[in-house]
Structure 1
Amino acid sequence: MATIDVMLPYYGDVAQMKEAAQSVLDQTFTDFRLVVLDDGYPDPEPARWFGAMDDTRVVYLRNEENLGANGNYRKAVELVQADWFVMMGADDVMHAGYLSAVINAVARFDVDIVQPGVQVIDENGARVLPLVDRVKKAITPRVPEGGAELGGEQLAASLMRGDWAYFPSIAWKTAAVREIGFRTGLDVVQDLALILDIVKRGGRMALLSDVVFDYRRHSASDSSVRALDGRRFDEERDFFLSEAARFSGLGWHRAARTARRHLTSRLNAASLLVKAYRSDQGSPRALWRHIFR
């Protein structure tokens, strides 16, 4: 059995998916399994490309029906065989030392989650730092070289101040995720919900300083469209308020206050107002509602 499984739920750009998969195959740490879950994308090229590979570490599966992102994530978790796994984005890119950094962190820290250093790229692979990622960078906890462990209310409050984690770059302890699972009914905060559910049960995160992963951000992403029309923020507001109640039940009052305020989420909505007024898909009224509710 492989040391770590890289799960690659896929639906979208074929060229970027190939780049993502190739970055896994180019890892310096080679004891992995790459599992591609094609969610019925209408193009025969992925099946042809993976079918031509002579590499027993690669598994290509095509869903008989489209499960959607959340459903495909949950199916991927069911198929994990290794003690650790990554739920990689099909348009993101691992640096060659990514898996080595993760495995070293797993050996050094007693954690359930590993968040490595991330840089952001655009559609063309150029390094960028848009406003949302500048904010993420500013609020990410500072850790010494080699990384550090975080957990408890301190980690929960930090993530409620602003979600600085990058889901596709995270490595997860399989047992911890299987015990909890992805919540149903969430489209844009399912990753944050999973992190917090693990933390509330005593789980911890290793936050690394080394940048070993490229996260691709582009304007056509599902989360960007959902932000402009307000659906993202409706989901976020409901989520933050429900988390505040859960934190209060644990006696984590600082985390609960931070969740109720959800200040960076409000500021994110405010930053999109001009774009929403100019876009046919935008809903300024929904953004205003989120800012002041």
Structure 2
Amino acid sequence: MIQFSTRPPSISVVMPVYNGGQFLAEAIHSILSQTFFDFEFIIIDDGSTDQTLEILHSLKEKKVVVLKNDSNLGNYQSRNIGMGHALGKYICVMDADDVSFPQRLERQFAYMEANPKVGICGSFIQNIPSGGCPNFITDGELLKVAFLANNYCAHPSLILRKEFLNRFNLNYNENYFYSADFDLCARGFRHFEVLNIPDVLLQYRRHSGQISTAKFAEQQKYADAIRVKQLKENLGFKPEEIPIQLHLQLMKKESIDAVKKKDAEQWIQAIIEKNFIRGYYEEHRLRSFLDSLLKVSF
């Protein structure tokens, strides 16, 4: 086990909370019970009006740094504030309604130390209350392709290499509101490796109050903007070249009228040809992924 010392910590765990009193104590306990000791725990109260501050003020751990927003600034702006205060070599994402398994920090720290080209690393998760463990993509090149369609990293499981964030000026783009984590990872692929490790390191709580449930429609609107933006930035498409509705239907595996099948095939070929020029995606994985979407939609 690694002991905490007077030097900057190896990891900064950053966790915003807004009216999270129901699950907050369990989330905090899961971090303070880690087998890895060399970390600081930055908790940002985002203008809570419930018992959140009372819980935070009761903490006596030296590892804990509590920041308080004067008003409710939102999840991602609060994360940016916390990251701005972070002293660690790595930043671990944490949500105030989730539970990290005891070896999470130890496992992710060891992986990042052994893989210096990786800038963002997620893990497998266990859903609460169902107990199910979805299999995420672990092949980095396939994950890069799959991000054309969706965010296949569990945000609260991520560890980020702060050196890379600073070097490439990466943080959460607050213009994307409820999908800023999707955007952060999508931009990260341009500069370094982003991947998932097949270890279940976090319990992800599903409930009606979480962003992905309460703000689903808005989250999808911003996710659609990111899906289109990747075509422009990664492959060089001009806005007028993109059949937006058709592209989004394909990426989201929606059923498409059979009369549009030829249009869809031509669009997929256009993506492949742009990539041949740019070389951004691994060709075989891109073609296989797009073909699989075509089969589902028709």
TM-score range, shorter chain: 0.7 to 0.9
In the alignment, which residue of structure 1 is the partner of 2:225? 238
Q: Is the 8 A contact 2:12 2:40 kept in 1?
A: yes
2:20/2:52 contact within 8 Å kept: no
SS of alignment partner, residue 112 of structure 1: strand
Contact 2:178-2:222 at 8 Å conserved across structures? yes
Amino acid at match of 2:190: K
Q: For residues 173 and 163 of structure 1, what CA distance do their matches in structure 2 show?
A: 19
Give the equivalent residue in structure 2 for 1:96.
Answer: 102
Alpha-carbon offset, residue 128 of structure 1? 4.4
- Partner in structure 2 of residue 204 of structure 1: 193
Query: CA–CA distance in 2 between the matches of 1:170 and 1:142?
Result: 13
Relative to structure 1, the CA distance from residue 260 to residue 205 in structure 2 (aligned partners, 3 Å threshold; closer, same or farther) is same
1:175-214 to 2 correspondence within 5 Å?
A: 175-178=163-166, 179-201=169-191, 203-214=192-203
Q: Which amino acid aligns with 1:29?
A: F
Q: Structure 1: 5+ residue runs without aligned partners? A: 144-149, 251-256, 269-291
Aligned residue pairs, count: 240
Contact 1:9-1:87 within 8 A present in 2 as well = no
TM-score (norm 1): 0.74
1:141 maps to 137
TM-score, structure 2 as length reference: 0.73
Greater C-alpha radius of gyration: 2
CA gap of 1:54–1:210, structure 2 versus 1, over 3 A, is: same
Contact 1:162 1:262 in 2 (8 A): no
Match of 1:280 in 2: none
Q: Aligned to 1:216, which of 205, 212, 216?
A: 205
Amino acid at match of 2:41: L
How big is the shift at 1:210? 1.4
Q: Give yes or no for contact 2:12–2:39 (8 Å, CA) kept in 1.
A: yes
In structure 2, distance between residues paired with 1:78 and 1:113 = 17
Which of these residues, 51, 59, 62, is aligned with residue 53 of structure 1? 59
Indicate conservation of the 8 Å contact 1:105/1:206, yes or no: no
Q: Kindly state the Cα deviation for residue 190 of structure 1 after the two structures are TM-superposed.
A: 0.7
What is the aligned-residue identity percentage?
A: 21
Counterpart secondary structure, 2:147: helix
* Local SS of the residue matching 1:161: coil
Q: Distance in 1 between matches of 2:96 and 2:59?
A: 18
Correspondence 1:11 to 2:15:
no
Contact 1:233 1:265 (8 Å CA) reproduced: no
Match for residue 127 of structure 1?
131
8 A contact 2:153–2:196 mirrored in 1: no
The structure 1 residue matched to 2:68, chosen from 55, 62, 65, is 62
Q: CA deviation at 1:41?
A: 0.5
2:28 corresponds in structure 1 to 21
Q: Is the 8 A contact 2:126 2:200 kept in 1?
A: yes
Higher relative contact order (CA 8 A, sep 6+): 1
Contact 2:99 2:203 in 1 (8 A): yes
Cα distance change, pair 119–266 in 1 and its aligned pair in 2 (3 A): same
Hey, what's the Cα distance between the residues in 2 that align with 1:77 and 1:260? Answer: 34
Contact 1:37 1:76 in 2 (8 A): yes
| Distance in 2, Cα, partners of 1:247 & 1:37 | 34
CA deviations over 1:54-102 (Å, ceiling 9, x no partner): 3211111211121111211221121111110112111010000101111
Q: Which amino acid aligns with 1:79?
A: H
- Please state how far the C-alpha of 1:116 moved relative to its aligned partner: 1.7
SS in 1 for 2:173: coil
Contact 2:143 2:152 in 1 (8 A): no
CA distance in 1, matches of 2:55, 2:221: 39
What CA distance in whole angstroms lies between the structure 2 residues aligned with 1:183 and 1:262?
A: 25
SS of structure 2 residue aligned to 1:214: strand
Structure 1 residue 234 displacement after superposition? 2.2
Partners in 2 of 1:21 and 1:64 — Cα distance?
22
CA–CA separation in structure 1 for the residues paired with 2:228 and 2:63: 43
Match of 1:226 among 215, 225, 238: 215
Assess, with a 3 A threshold, how the Cα gap between structure 1 residues 186 and 109 changes in structure 2: closer, same or farther.
Answer: same
SS of the residue aligned with 2:172? coil
Helix, strand or coil: the match of 1:47? helix
Q: Which moved more, 1:95-104 or 1:63-72?
A: 63-72
Post-superposition Cα deviations, 1:181-202, rounded to whole Å, max 9, x if no partner, equal 211311222111111111112x
Q: Which of 115, 120, 125 in structure 1 is aligned with 2:122?
A: 115
